[in-house]
């Protein structure tokens, strides 16, 4: 039976969570979603001393990019969700010349793909779709080699993100583009706050996580990941998360309304539920049975901390998802689709649940 944090309702069964004697979790005690200014390591790190310094750097970067005479002065990862679509609009408003890049990992939502094509065309932005040949194999191997005690989402999504960002940074290197923008929201933190530290890009690069440092991928698959050693003498682009320091433009609902108002999607499908990767709805079929927590409990708890929702609403929403998943009544289509794509049998699914 799990015990929940008295402040943010995060359960102690969630990976990395510890409660103190007062029943408060380490996320609340350490303000885990706050940036570690002047730090160069960890998901919450930043090489800047304060938010204002980071903002000044961002707008100075924008000015430098405007002065470049290249066909493209930046790359935007255009996933097709409301956040990346709206950021594409913002970059155009800033008088930049972005190349929009959509990564098809074999699990891209059709609505998201349509949004990407439509938004880029409407805004007059060149758009390419890259489909790494090994993407589905990498996701399948990540799932089937999930280490014990490791959070399903952290392992699978980390390797998928590393592959995606590897494509982006290689595209930037090959085209001589100095900046890659990614539309992570303020509560989405991965490999840094505001930007991926230069030390990481020039050090490990975006090589995948593997159990006990034993690679689960063959050489051909690993070659798709970005390893700086394979690019001697190359100038590496900066990888920037603008929403971290410019401020997210209101609530998700406000961003959705802005995207719809600007008519940047063909069908009005901009809600997260309609554009997210189907794996986000499949992974709870592992976590809820294995560890009794919902895959996205940390996101709900952060909404509680930010007072974007109440404890009761968050608990009710998550309890509803858990109950429907246990009854096999929710996201059945996505589950069936993912299991087929991943060549995952019912017996293998049981094994993953432990």
The CATH number that applies at residue 137 is: 3.40.50.620
Q: Which of 217, 235, 261 is the last residue of a domain?
A: 261
Does 37 map to a domain? no
Q: Look at the chain and report how many structural domains it folds into.
A: 2
208 and 329 fall within a common domain: no
Residues for the chain: how many in total?
Answer: 354
Q: Is the pLDDT of residue 42 over 90?
A: no
Q: Per residue, what are the HEC states of the chain?
A: CCCECCCCCCECCCCCCCECCCCCEHHHHHCCCCCEECECCCCCEECCCCHHHHHHHHHHHHHHHHHCCCCCCEEEECCCCHHHHHHHHHHHHCCCCEEEEEECCCCCCHHHHHHHHHHHHHHCCCEEEECCCCHHHHHHHHHHCCCCCCCHHHHHHHHHHHHHHHHHHHHHHHHCCCEEECCCCCCCCCCCCCECCHHHHHCCCCCCCCHHHCCCCCHHHHCCCCCHHHCCCCCCCEEECCHHHHCCCCCHHHHHHHHHHCCCCCCCCCCHHHHCCCHHHHCHHHHHHHCCCCCCHHHHHHHHHCCCCCHHHHHHHHHHHHHHHHCCCCCHHHHHHHHHHCCCCHHHHHHHHC
Does 121 map to a domain? yes
Comparing 28-42, 196-210, 242-256, 265-279, the range with the smallest average pLDDT is 28-42
Most confident of 50-64, 118-132, 215-229, 273-287: 118-132
296 and 243 fall within a common domain: no
What's residue 149's pLDDT? 72
Distance separating alpha carbons of residues 193 and 44, to the nearest angstrom: 5
Residues sharing a CB contact under 8 Å with residue 288, sequence separation 6 or more, in sequence order = 294, 295, 321, 322, 325, 326
What's residue 103's pLDDT? 98
What's residue 31's pLDDT? 64
Does 15 map to a domain? no
What's residue 152's pLDDT? 87
* pLDDT greater at residue 253 or residue 128: 128
Of 221, 189, 226, 220, nearest to 206 by C-alpha is: 226
Distance separating alpha carbons of residues 24 and 47, to the nearest angstrom: 30
Distance separating alpha carbons of residues 34 and 27, to the nearest angstrom: 10
Does 70 map to a domain? yes
79 and 218 fall within a common domain: yes
Q: Is the pLDDT of residue 29 over 80?
A: yes
Residues 200, 192 contacting (CB under 8 angstroms): yes
Q: How far is CA 54 from the centre of its chain?
A: 21
pLDDT, average across residues 51-62: 92
Distance separating alpha carbons of residues 74 and 304, to the nearest angstrom: 35
Of 328, 217, 323, 319, nearest to 282 by C-alpha is: 328
128 and 62 fall within a common domain: yes
What's residue 43's pLDDT? 52
231 and 292 fall within a common domain: no
39 band by pLDDT with thresholds 50, 70 and 90: low
What's residue 95's pLDDT? 96
Of 176, 245, 242, 180, nearest to 206 by C-alpha is: 180
74 and 126 fall within a common domain: yes
9 band by pLDDT with thresholds 50, 70 and 90: very high
Both tokens of 119, joined, read 């938004």
147 and 85 fall within a common domain: yes
Comparing 101-110, 251-260, 315-324, 341-350, the range with the smallest average pLDDT is 251-260
For residue 329, the enclosing domain spans 279-353
217 and 137 fall within a common domain: yes
pLDDT digits 0-9 by tens, 330-349: 999 999 999 999 999 999 99
């Amino acid at each position: 039976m799990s015990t929940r944090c008295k402040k943010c309702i995060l359960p102690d069964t969630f990976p990395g969570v510890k409660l103190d004697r007062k029943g408060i979790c380490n996320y609340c005690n350490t303000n885990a979603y706050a940036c570690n200014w002047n730090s160069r390591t960890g998901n919450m790190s930043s090489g800047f001393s304060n938010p204002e310094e980071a903002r000044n750097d961002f707008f100075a970067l924008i000015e430098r990019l405007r002065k470049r005479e290249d066909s493209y002065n930046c790359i935007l990862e255009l996933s097709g969700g409301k956040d990346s679509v709206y950021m594409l609009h913002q970059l155009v408003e800033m008088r930049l010349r972005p190349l929009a890049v959509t990564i098809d990992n074999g699990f891209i939502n059709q609505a998201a793909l349509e949004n990407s094509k439509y938004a880029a065309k409407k805004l007059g932005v060149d758009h390419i779709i890259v489909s790494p040949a090994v993407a589905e194999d990498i996701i399948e191997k990540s799932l089937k080699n999930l280490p014990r005690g490791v959070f399903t989402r952290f392992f699978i999504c980390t390797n998928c993100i590393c592959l995606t960002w590897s494509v982006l940074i290689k595209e930037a290197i090959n085209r001589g583009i100095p900046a890659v923008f990614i539309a992570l929201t303020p509560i989405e933190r991965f490999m840094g706050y505001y930007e991926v530290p230069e030390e990481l890009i020039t050090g490990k690069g975006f090589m995948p996580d593997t159990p006990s440092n034993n690679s689960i991928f063959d050489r051909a698959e690993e070659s798709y990941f970005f390893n700086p050693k394979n690019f001697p003498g190359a100038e590496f682009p900066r990888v920037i998360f603008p929403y971290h320091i410019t401020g997210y433009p209101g609530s998700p609902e406000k961003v959705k309304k802005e995207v719809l108002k600007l008519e940047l999607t063909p069908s009005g499908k901009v809600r997260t539920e309609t554009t997210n990767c189907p794996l986000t709805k499949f992974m709870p079929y592992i976590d809820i049975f294995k560890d009794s927590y919902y895959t996205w409990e940390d996101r709900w708890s952060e909404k509680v901390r930010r007072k974007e929702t109440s404890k009761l609403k968050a608990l009710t929403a998550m309890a509803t998802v858990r109950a429907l998943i246990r009854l096999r009544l929710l996201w059945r289509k996505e589950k069936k689709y993912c299991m087929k794509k991943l060549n995952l049998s019912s017996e293998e699914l049981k094994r993953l649940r432990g």
